[in-house]
């Protein structure tokens, strides 16, 4: 995809921003518009057990727009349109990949959206995954990290720090049932309003799997500790497995030290992953980092090793 294509995609959003500003000046319903993104590239050595190579990796870099318009004091139209971009390898028409893209309503009743969105089981993880978007992302060993199309999602308001949420994934064929994802959480996933976060979720008929997941994390002084347990199986009853994730993060000045262990127990063996990393904050929204991940996979009889250094800038 050329710069011209990207410009054509972004032009309507720029025009919308101008129009919304004009509306507000005329006492029309108040609107918000935010263009945002993340550029994350690393120099990475990959040993997948069969071959070794060093290359640049674009780690889920993205651009997007999100906002809303107040219809009344208690009702707002919201939207988000986000794309993943590849800063290292892919070009042309392959460079943009759809991420969360939806429209909906928000009010005292909560939030209701339709479109393409992460299931509530996926969003349950909050800040637990210290290596999200890297080789040690929990999706490398665990099912359930789904962003589904044809999805209706609901998030309730918080009642004494308790929230419920649900996703319905509509099937496009008669041979497949609609899927659903349900979750309940207690606490604040950013650990700002509360010093703890707990949750439980389940998937049924989502991307071919039934899943149960429990999660919790907290801070002791400035150190964050997290734990997740999951049980999963295909909808036909095969490929049953269960496992856990344990993570820890310790800030120290501009540095952040982190570690994470994952294990999934399958019938034909255990797959596990151990990772260590260090981030250094250069400025607000900008950091450099390095990390190491080692995986021992009994299911495919392979040992894999990855190491990277990179930079991330959020805007």
pLDDT in tens, 151-169: 999 999 999 999 999 999 9
Domain that holds residue 28: 3-314
Burial class (CB in 10 A: 0-12, 13-18, 19+), 146: buried
Of 216, 212, 215, 244, whose CA–CA distance to 231 is shortest? 212
Percent of the chain with pLDDT over 70: 91
Residues 94-104, mean pLDDT to the nearest whole number: 94
Q: Taking all residues of the chain, what is their mean pLDDT, rounded to a whole number?
A: 91
- Give the DSSP letter string of 207-261: TTEEEEEEEEEEEETTEEEEEEEEEEEETTS-S-EEEEEEEEEEEETTEEEEEEE
CB atoms inside a 10 Å sphere around CB 30: 12
| Residue 240 structure tokens | 């049953």
CATH code for the domain in which residue 44 is found: 2.40.160.10
Cα dist. 230→15, 133, 135, 181, 310 in Å?
45, 20, 19, 14, 31
Tally of domains in the chain: 1
Q: Please report, to the nearest 10 degrees, the dihedral formed by the alpha carbons of residues 120, 121, 125, 131 taken in order.
A: -110
Of 149, 185, 146, 182, whose CA–CA distance to 167 is shortest? 182
Tell me, what's the pLDDT at 14?
Answer: 43
pLDDT in tens, 36-95: 999 999 999 999 988 999 999 999 999 999 999 999 999 999 999 999 999 998 777 778
Residue with tokens 């080789």: 135
The residues with which 218 forms a beta bridge, in sequence order, are: 196, 225
pLDDT in tens, 208-255: 999 999 999 999 999 999 999 999 999 999 999 999 999 999 999 999
Percent of the chain with pLDDT over 90: 84
Tell me, what's the pLDDT at 92?
Answer: 73
């Amino acid at each position: 995809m050329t710069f011209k294509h990207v410009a054509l995609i972004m032009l309507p959003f720029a025009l919308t921003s101008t129009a919304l500003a004009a509306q507000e000046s005329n006492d029309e319903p108040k609107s918000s518009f935010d263009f945002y993104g993340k550029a994350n590239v690393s120099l990475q050595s990959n040993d997948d057990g069969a071959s070794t190579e060093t290359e640049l990796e674009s780690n889920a870099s993205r651009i997007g727009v999100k906002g809303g318009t107040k219809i009344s004091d208690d009702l707002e139209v919201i939207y988000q349109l986000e794309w993943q971009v590849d800063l290292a390898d892919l070009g042309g028409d392959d460079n943009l990949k759809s991420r969360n893209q939806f429209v909906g309503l928000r009010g005292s009743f909560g939030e209701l959206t339709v479109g393409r969105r992460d299931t509530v089981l996926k969003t349950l993880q909050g800040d637990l995954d210290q290596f999200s978007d890297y080789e040690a992302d929990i999706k490398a060993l665990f099912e359930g990290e789904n962003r589904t199309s044809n999805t209706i999602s609901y998030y309730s308001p918080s009642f004494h720090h308790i929230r419920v949420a649900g996703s319905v994934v509509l099937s496009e064929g008669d041979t497949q049932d609609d899927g659903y994802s349900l979750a309940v959480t207690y606490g604040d996933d950013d650990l700002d309003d509360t010093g703890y976060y707990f949750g439980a979720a389940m998937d049924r008929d989502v991307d071919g799997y039934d899943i149960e997941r429990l999660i919790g994390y907290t801070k002791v002084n400035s150190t964050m500790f997290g734990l997740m347990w999951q049980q999963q199986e295909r909808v036909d009853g095969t490929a049953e497995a269960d496992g856990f994730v344990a993570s820890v993060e310790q800030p120290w000045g501009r540095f952040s030290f982190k570690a994470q262990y994952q294990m999934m127990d399958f019938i034909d063996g255990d797959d596990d992953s151990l990772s260590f990393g260090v981030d250094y904050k250069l400025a607000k929204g900008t950091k450099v980092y390095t990390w190491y991940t080692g995986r021992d996979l009994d299911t495919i009889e392979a040992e894999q090793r990855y190491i990277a250094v990179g930079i991330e800038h959020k805007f």
